[in-house]
Amino acid sequence: MLRLRSTLPFTLLAAAALLHPFSASGAESDAASIEFFEKKIRPALIEHCYKCHSAKSEKIKGKLRVDNRNALQRGGETGPGIVPGDPEKSLIIEAIVYKNPDLQMPPDNKLPDEMIQDFIAWVKKGAVWPNEKETHAVVEEKKLDYDKLRKEHWAFQPLKETPPPAVKNAAWPQSPIDNYIAAALEAKNLQPGQRADKRRLLRRVSFDLTGLPPTPEQIDSFINDESPNAFEKVVDRLLASPHFGERWGRHWLDLARYAESAGGGRIVPLNNAWRYREYVINAFNKDKPYDRFIREQLAGDLLPATDFNERGENIVATGFLAIGPKNLDTQDKDLLRMDVVDEQIDTIGKVMLGMTIGCARCHDHKFDPITTREYYALAGIFRSTKTLTPGNVSGVVQSGLPLDAEMEQKIKEHDKIVAALEQKLHSLRVDVKANAAGKEKPKVDVAAPPATVVATAPAPPPTGKAADAEKKATDPASLPGIVLDDSQANIIGSWIKSTYMGRYVGEGYIHDNNKQKGEMIVSFAPTFAAGGLYEVRVSYTSTHTRADNVPVIVQYADGEKTVTVNQRIPPPIDNLYVSIGTFPFSAGNDGSVTISNTGTNGHVIVDSVQFISVDPASADTGKAVAVKPAADKPVAGTDPVPAKPATVVRTDDQEKAMLDKLEKEITELKKKAPVGPVALAVKDEEQTGDYNVCIRGDVHRLGQPVQRGFLALAPFPSQAVTSKQSGRIELADWITDPRNPLTSRVMVNRVWHHLFGAGLVRSTDNFGLTGETPSHPELLDYLARQFVAKNWSIKQLVRSIVLSSTYQVSGAARADAAKVDPDNRLLARYNRRRLDVEALRDAMLANSGQLDLTPPTASLLRLNYEKPKANRRTVYMPIERETIDSMLEVFDFADPNLVVGVRNTSILATQALFFMNSPFAVEQSREAAKRLVAEAPAGTARIQRAYARALGRPPSAEELKLAENFLANANGNSPEATAAWAQFYQALFACVDFRFID
């Protein structure tokens, strides 16, 4: 609507304005009105508004001008500035009265009240403005021609098939790849490069494919293998190695901004994130087709599966959507939800399509043909996807994974036993109570199993006569422990009192009327006479219209926990309370229990909270706590509750002991419950559907609804999403459609980047108009077509590239090429590259013999990996967004908050200091020296052995001389000699040839 208004041809508006040259409602004389305007309004506008809202403003804010009536009436981005005669509908009035926190003008200071009254009076009387020529028309921002861009930008065009060009040096190409490369070189009168020597080549391909250096034995074997396919054999060995997935999986984790904590405000761990890491590594090892890989990560939870393993894998894959950085303690939960959606869209755009879609959140993309409507068409899909769980500090969704038969059986059996015991406990309580009330004791055979047992379901509420006998209201004083009724709570929002449903504690309960979600909060602040462990229980009245996801936040002595309560099922304890868990509280009033209606899906009930000491030594009977006496008024509509002493006190010791024992037994049993595997994974929201445009990205200002759908820039038609599901499957279909040229081009370019140090398109995450153009567009399309044709196989793609002559050329400098092509875009030589931190650390550990190559099947805790014996591969180190390991930080590890297709490769003094002085470098040098001393006799042989292991080659004559001088006195195996060898090894770790591959 707003857009329409601002794009109306100016002449039309001018014509309309001509019909009303003056005020439309001329109640007062024009002269008086104009005088009022000139005296009161225009000066105020000039003084307070012109700076940002006139033709002379440096930048017209909000596209609103107030220096002529037409412009003011037409308004800006938010809507018409004035509606003559109707101050209530006039946005400038809304802005100056400062009632709307999001719209306050002038931004720095509220206008004097008198002036505000003048403005209101002026608008009311028709906003009279003398007829004057509009001096400056509002200049429309130049619109990009999106259609033209869609038709013309190279990246949006279908994959082209260009036959490999013929080349002069016909002996050089081993693969069509080489034809494209050689042809471009020859066009510049350059010869393709010479083949690299075997040692360098082996070191290069070993690091590139597995991230590990070749062992001296592997070097010897390759040097001695003179068969024509010796290199091919090496490549196939490396491709089959489980370390391939660790190397290439890590490349993907850079894109997936993998981390094990949320990284926003509070430190919130992302438990089970490691399963996603394991999934990615396995996917590369299994050579999972890339299209399938994408489908699983976007919509695995919605895909059919043939068995529980596949189903589990599919669910874990969606961790891709869940592990992004987020500020879970953002209080504006609508904003948080949209921030998460935005992060997902932005990530998918960059990772899979090479497009910066996130730019269109607030306005149409300034460079690429992506409209805000298209953005919100995608947003609808992810608004329909559940990533967060409610709470003051929100959580991230975890999904139980399908169980194998054995585990399933175990859990079932456990639940059965617990349910039986709980049934027994319930019966016993009824029994005790009946006894206490002096009624006839119903006969309960505690030994007999209950007639029906539903796993983990609460005991059925009493019905019929038994229910009548139950008191609707329970006196808090009759309950054990500390009981805080809703009447004693700190209440925020318009909660409604009720006594409609029983049972409840005190004079009734309160409910949120299923309204104003996220704004109503009740907080209980207990005072403990003594610190210790307390079981926290909350009471509510249940029925099917209740919310099944009520967040209850317990703040206790050393933390905070959010528990979700299902108020649709009857509370299991005495049909009154549900246990939230047991927490430590300190003496005094530090703790709290907060119940809110944030994100809830039905009526939320708040009745009372009970704290029962589970630490007999410091039992807090609640006597010290002021409990509001309920004696003033009789409880409406119910019989008075029996006065104190309370029921439990009357129980004889034997019964109490039985109760205690049983309760303890159940608690213990629950602690030992078998737990099935859980993954960080998204699922569809209960309510799925389209979303609206958020005006200027403001989640509190919704514009028109938009049907869910995809981007129009792909060169094939796509349909809007009408599914009852979120639409993630449809999105995955659209992305992996072989006609979508971005998906395959972006991925083959990433693989090229990792093998050559630069992509054919160097801006790997941006194929849009501000990205780079490909150096070899025909080659890029050739690779993309091959990739799709070969079932999206990453291993086939990698194999075809490393077996080309292009990959195998020498890295030695070429003066002829350097002049014509200083950036080596034409690949006349191989790009020398710095080892990334994973390869560097793993190589140091491989040299020292300390590397533990077993993949862990869990998250490595920090304590664990700091122990020398837990020297797993770097890919398994825990990645916490709050504390990145110092070595990773120093050596340009991918920022886990960003999509990183290309890592920084800085060369800094802090890195040099790490080699010189870090405990890790010192320790590994010592270990490497110990190993070396044991392996080879002192002298030249030992130096050669160290070179073979560290650099994959023998020392040069000069290097040998330097080393021999340094080690002149380090003969034999004495500790002094070993220490000297450790110093030597430390220098090897730090030297250029260790840190670079060429």
Partner 1 sequence: MCEHDLIQQPSRRELLGKLACGFGSLALASMMSNAYGAEKKAGPLAPKAPHFAPKAKRIIFLFMQGGPSHIDTFDPKPKLEADDGKKVEFNVARTRKVQPRTVLKSPWKFAQYGQSGRWVSELFPETAKHVDKLCFIRSVHTEGVAHGPATLFLHTGATAFIRPSIGSWLTYGLGTENQNLPGFVTISPTQNMGGPRNYSNAFLPAVYQGTAIGRATAPATQVKFRHVTNELLPPEQQKKQFELLQALNREQARNAKGDDEVEAAINSFELAYRMQMHAPEVTDISSETPETLKLYGIGEKETDDYGRQCLIARRLCERGTRFVQVNYSDNGSNPRWDQHSNLKAHEKHARAVDKPVMGLLQDLEARGLLEDTLVWWGGEFGRTPFSDGRDGRDHNPTGFTVWLAGAGVKKGVAWGETDEYGFEAVKDKVHMHDLHATILHLFGVDHEKLTYRYAGRDFRLTDVAGHVVKGILS
Restricted to residues 920-979, the positions that interact with partner 1 (CB under 8 A) are 922, 956, 958-959, 962-963, 966
Name the residue nearer to partner 1 (CB basis): 564 or 831: 831
Q: Please give the residues from 821 up to 860 whose contact with partner 1 meets the rule CB under 8 A.
A: 832, 834
How many other C-beta atoms can be found within 10 angstroms of the C-beta atom of residue 621? 12
Q: Please give the residues from 521 up to 550 whose contact with partner 1 meets the rule CB under 8 A.
A: 521, 525
Binding residue for partner 1, selected from 169, 309, 704, 904, defined by CB under 8 A: 904
Q: Please give the residues from 175 up to 204 whose contact with partner 1 meets the rule CB under 8 A.
A: none
In whole angstroms, the minimum distance from the beta carbon of 260 to partner 1 comes to 14
Q: Are 192 and 809 in contact (CB under 8 A)?
A: yes
In whole angstroms, the minimum distance from the beta carbon of 111 to partner 1 comes to 11
Instruction: Tell me the sheet residues that pair with 67.
Output: none
Q: Please give the residues from 58 up to 117 whose contact with partner 1 meets the rule CB under 8 A.
A: 101, 107-110
How many other C-beta atoms can be found within 10 angstroms of the C-beta atom of residue 29? 9
Q: Please give the residues from 696 up to 755 whose contact with partner 1 meets the rule CB under 8 A.
A: 700
Name the residue nearer to partner 1 (CB basis): 236 or 895: 895
In whole angstroms, the minimum distance from the beta carbon of 995 to partner 1 comes to 7
In whole angstroms, the minimum distance from the beta carbon of 918 to partner 1 comes to 5
In whole angstroms, the minimum distance from the beta carbon of 198 to partner 1 comes to 16
Residue span binding partner 1 (CB under 8 A) among the ranges 219-227, 644-652, 743-751, 904-912: 904-912
Name the residue nearer to partner 1 (CB basis): 28 or 560: 560
907 lies in the binding site for partner 1 (CB under 8 A):
yes
In whole angstroms, the minimum distance from the beta carbon of 823 to partner 1 comes to 12
Binding residue for partner 1, selected from 17, 115, 501, 987, defined by CB under 8 A: 987
Residue span binding partner 1 (CB under 8 A) among the ranges 219-227, 561-569, 645-653, 887-895: 887-895
Is the four-CA dihedral 512, 336, 536, 566 of positive or negative sign? positive
Binding residue for partner 1, selected from 892, 928, 942, 943, defined by CB under 8 A: 892
In whole angstroms, the minimum distance from the beta carbon of 859 to partner 1 comes to 18
Binding residue for partner 1, selected from 103, 428, 444, 884, defined by CB under 8 A: 884
Binding residue for partner 1, selected from 916, 937, 941, 976, defined by CB under 8 A: 916
Q: Please give the residues from 397 up to 436 whose contact with partner 1 meets the rule CB under 8 A.
A: none
Binding residue for partner 1, selected from 135, 169, 409, 770, defined by CB under 8 A: 770
- DSSP state string for 879-944: --SS---HHHHHTTPPPTTS--SS------HHHHHHHHH-HHHHHHHHHHHHHHHHHS-TTHHHHH
Name the residue nearer to partner 1 (CB basis): 577 or 893: 893
Contacts of 445 (CB under 8 A, 6+ apart): none
Dist CA 436 CA 404 (whole Å): 48
Dist CA 132 CA 22 (whole Å): 10
Dist CA 89 CA 110 (whole Å): 19
The residue type at 363: H
Name the residue nearer to partner 1 (CB basis): 318 or 986: 986
Tell me the three state secondary structure of residue 523: strand
Name the residue nearer to partner 1 (CB basis): 367 or 865: 367
Name the residue nearer to partner 1 (CB basis): 23 or 859: 859
For 634-637, which contacts have Cβ atoms below 8 Å and span 24 or more sequence positions?
A: 635/473, 635/475, 635/507, 636/499, 636/507, 636/508, 637/472, 637/499
**Dihedral-angle region of residue 402 (phi above 0 means left; psi in -120 to 50 means alpha; beta otherwise):** beta
Q: Which residue has the tokens 């992509």?
A: 759
Name the residue nearer to partner 1 (CB basis): 719 or 904: 904
Which H or E run includes 348?
helix 333-348
Q: Please give the residues from 481 up to 500 whose contact with partner 1 meets the rule CB under 8 A.
A: 490, 492-493
Residue span binding partner 1 (CB under 8 A) among the ranges 13-21, 246-254, 479-487, 909-917: 909-917
Binding residue for partner 1, selected from 134, 225, 236, 329, defined by CB under 8 A: 329
Q: Are 234 and 202 in contact (CB under 8 A)?
A: yes
Binding residue for partner 1, selected from 23, 179, 327, 478, defined by CB under 8 A: 327
Q: Please give the residues from 238 up to 267 whose contact with partner 1 meets the rule CB under 8 A.
A: 263-267
Q: Please give the residues from 787 up to 826 whose contact with partner 1 meets the rule CB under 8 A.
A: 812-813, 818
Q: Please give the residues from 863 up to 882 whose contact with partner 1 meets the rule CB under 8 A.
A: 881-882
Q: Please give the residues from 355 up to 384 whose contact with partner 1 meets the rule CB under 8 A.
A: 356, 359, 366-368
586 lies in the binding site for partner 1 (CB under 8 A):
no
998 lies in the binding site for partner 1 (CB under 8 A):
yes
**Dihedral-angle region of residue 634 (phi above 0 means left; psi in -120 to 50 means alpha; beta otherwise):** beta
- Residue 880 structure tokens: 């916490």
Q: Please give the residues from 266 up to 285 whose contact with partner 1 meets the rule CB under 8 A.
A: 266-267
Angle between helices 794-802 and 777-789 (to 10 degrees): 140
Binding residue for partner 1, selected from 312, 395, 709, 768, defined by CB under 8 A: 768
Residue span binding partner 1 (CB under 8 A) among the ranges 425-433, 454-462, 518-526, 870-878: 518-526
Number of residues that bind partner 1 (CB under 8 A): 94
- Residue 778 structure tokens: 């025909």
Name the residue nearer to partner 1 (CB basis): 41 or 835: 835
Q: Are 529 and 627 in contact (CB under 8 A)?
A: no
Residue span binding partner 1 (CB under 8 A) among the ranges 143-151, 411-419, 538-546, 905-913: 905-913
Name the residue nearer to partner 1 (CB basis): 626 or 907: 907
CA neighbours within 13 Å on the CB side: how many for 429?
Answer: 19
In whole angstroms, the minimum distance from the beta carbon of 298 to partner 1 comes to 21
In whole angstroms, the minimum distance from the beta carbon of 279 to partner 1 comes to 24
Dist CA 394 CA 553 (whole Å): 11
Binding residue for partner 1, selected from 310, 470, 560, 935, defined by CB under 8 A: 560
Dist CA 279 CA 230 (whole Å): 32
Instruction: List b or e across 84-120, with b for residues whose CB sees 16 or more CB atoms inside 10 angstroms.
Output: bbebeebbbbbbbbeeeeebbbbeeeebeeebbebbb
Contacts of 873 (CB under 8 A, 6+ apart): 211, 243, 246, 838, 842, 851, 852, 853, 855
- Is 569 exposed, middle or buried (CB count within 10 Å of its CB: 0-12, 13-18, 19+)? middle
905 lies in the binding site for partner 1 (CB under 8 A):
yes
Tell me the three state secondary structure of residue 492: strand
In whole angstroms, the minimum distance from the beta carbon of 922 to partner 1 comes to 6
Instruction: Tell me the sheet residues that pair with 521.
Output: 492, 596
332 lies in the binding site for partner 1 (CB under 8 A):
yes
Q: Please give the residues from 650 up to 679 whose contact with partner 1 meets the rule CB under 8 A.
A: none
Q: Please give the residues from 590 up to 619 whose contact with partner 1 meets the rule CB under 8 A.
A: 590, 592
Phi then psi dihedrals of residue 551, to 5 deg: -80, 125
Dist CA 717 CA 74 (whole Å): 37
124 lies in the binding site for partner 1 (CB under 8 A):
no
DSSP code at position 588 = B
Name the residue nearer to partner 1 (CB basis): 464 or 919: 919
Tell me the three state secondary structure of residue 149: helix
In whole angstroms, the minimum distance from the beta carbon of 602 to partner 1 comes to 21
β-strands 605-606, 509-511 pairing = antiparallel
Name the residue nearer to partner 1 (CB basis): 792 or 994: 994
Which H or E run includes 510?
strand 509-511
55 lies in the binding site for partner 1 (CB under 8 A):
no
